[in-house]
Amino acid sequence: MAVAIERLGMKGKQDEKVTPMKVREKPGAFLRDIEEIRRRARQHIERGAVTEGYKADREAVIGILNEALATELVCVLRYKRHHYMASGIHAQAVADEFLEHAEEEQKHADLIAERITQLDGEPNFSPEGLQMRSHSEYVEGNSLVDMIREDLVAERIAIDSYSEIIRYLGNDDPTSRRVMEEILANEEEHAEELKTLLQSIATDEAQFTNLPRSGRSS
Ligand SMILES: [Fe+2]
Ligand SMILES: [Fe+2]
């Protein structure tokens, strides 16, 4: 290993003495490219992960990511509310599902906030205007079915807007795109789970309605 590092010229002072292996084998374009990349990396070192090769409109991406962050924060709040309300009406299985979603939305919010700071931006956690920045809404819902339906609507809005963001990012910011793709896949799972919950509640209700009167508990 030490030998390999030495030969790649990565061991401090060895740089001057040892010709990097790759360069010695393939002189030409690669050498110029790698030197240029190193030069640019040193030039704006204080900008962290944002290099001059970054092709997207950084300010626009930060703005879009802050909207996605607001969307996630509103989802956390809505799922938390639904979790406690469902617990109150003894629908424990659904309440557990809401809590799991709330925790996953919080993870999404953290991933997005982290990416914003990597882009030298500031994640907006301000409660002021949160609902305005968010793509999905905070709807409380009056019944268990209402709550699930509202969550499904919010997930579908997130799926649509995140797909749009992913298309916008394209190849200009592949790291932000990957973050959003990972989150999108999780939102699709959420939507699927909520759909299954709605269907199972509808089935239960249908079974209850079809029971002979003597078989119903009053
Ligand atoms: Fe989310
Ligand atoms: Fe979600």
Contact 110, 75 (CB under 8 A): no
pLDDT at residue 3, rounded to an integer: 38
Q: What is the largest CA-CA distance in the chain?
A: 93
Instruction: Give the 3-state secondary structure of residue 164.
Output: helix
pLDDT at residue 18, rounded to an integer: 42
Q: Which of 175, 75, 193, 57 is nearest to 135 (CA)?
A: 75
Starting from the CA of residue 154, give the closest ligand. Answer: 2
pLDDT at residue 33, rounded to an integer: 74
pLDDT at residue 52, rounded to an integer: 75
Residue 50 CA to ligand 2 center (angstroms) comes to 29
What are the residue ranges spanned by the domains of the chain? 13-43, 58-210
Whole-model pTM? Answer: 0.75
Residue 146 CA to ligand 2 center (angstroms) comes to 17
- What are the pLDDT digits (tens) for 137-186? 999 998 999 999 999 999 999 999 999 999 999 999 999 999 999 999 99
pLDDT at residue 89, rounded to an integer: 84
- Residues of the chain under the 70 pLDDT cut: 1-32, 34, 37-38, 40-48, 205-218
Contact 154, 75 (CB under 8 A): yes
Residue 195 CA to ligand 1 center (angstroms) comes to 16
Residue 104 CA to ligand 2 center (angstroms) comes to 7
Contact 107, 133 (CB under 8 A): no
Q: Sort 44 into a burial class: Cβ within 10 Å, 0-12 / 13-18 / 19+.
A: exposed
Q: Which residues fall inside 5 Å of ion ligand 2, going by CB?
A: 155, 187, 190
Q: Sort 31 into a burial class: Cβ within 10 Å, 0-12 / 13-18 / 19+.
A: middle
Residue 75 CA to ligand 1 center (angstroms) comes to 7
Q: Which fold has domain 58-210?
A: Ferritin (1.20.1260)
Residue 31 CA to ligand 2 center (angstroms) comes to 46
Q: Which of 34, 59, 66 is nearest to 132 (CA)?
A: 66
